[in-house]
Amino acid sequence: MSGTLTAIGAACAAVMLAGAAAAPSTTDHHHARPHHHYRTSDQRSYEACRDAQRHSANTGTVAGAVGGGLLGYGLGGGHALGTVLGAGGGAVIGHQIGHDTHHC
């Protein structure tokens, strides 16, 4: 059972790391901050993008917490501390990866 959970945790970590490598960097855009003088249609487009960005960040948080918790459980030998630390770290990483998939 422990070997299976370790394999699942390792697979989740590989998926999270692959997503981090594939996520575009925020520094390759020429606008560091969003402009706040949009026309009405532009404002709606910006708000839709921000909604998608928040949704992706929330999804990434949940997926990262689950994957990190499984990885922490497997690497921590089934102890609660490993699970909690893995879930917390996975949530933070997943949130950032999800957030960085949309640039508004």
- Tens-place pLDDT, residues 70-82: 999 999 999 999 9
Give the pLDDT score at 41. 75
The larger pLDDT score, comparing residue 61 to residue 15, is at 61
Residue 97, pLDDT > 60, answer yes
Its sign, for the CA torsion 37, 28, 56, 74, is negative
Give the pLDDT score at 33. 54
Instruction: State the average pLDDT over residues 48-54.
Output: 94
Rounded to whole angstroms, the maximal C-alpha distance in the chain is: 58
Report how far residue 32's alpha carbon sits from residue 74's, in angstroms, rounded to the nearest whole number.
40
Please provide the average confidence, as pLDDT, over all residues in the chain: 79
Give the pLDDT score at 17. 54
Query: Which residues have a Cβ under 8 Å from the Cβ of 5 and sit 6 or more positions away?
Result: 70, 73, 74, 78
Q: Name the residue among 4, 10, 3 with its Cα closest to residue 71.
A: 10
Instruction: State the average pLDDT over residues 2-28.
Output: 53
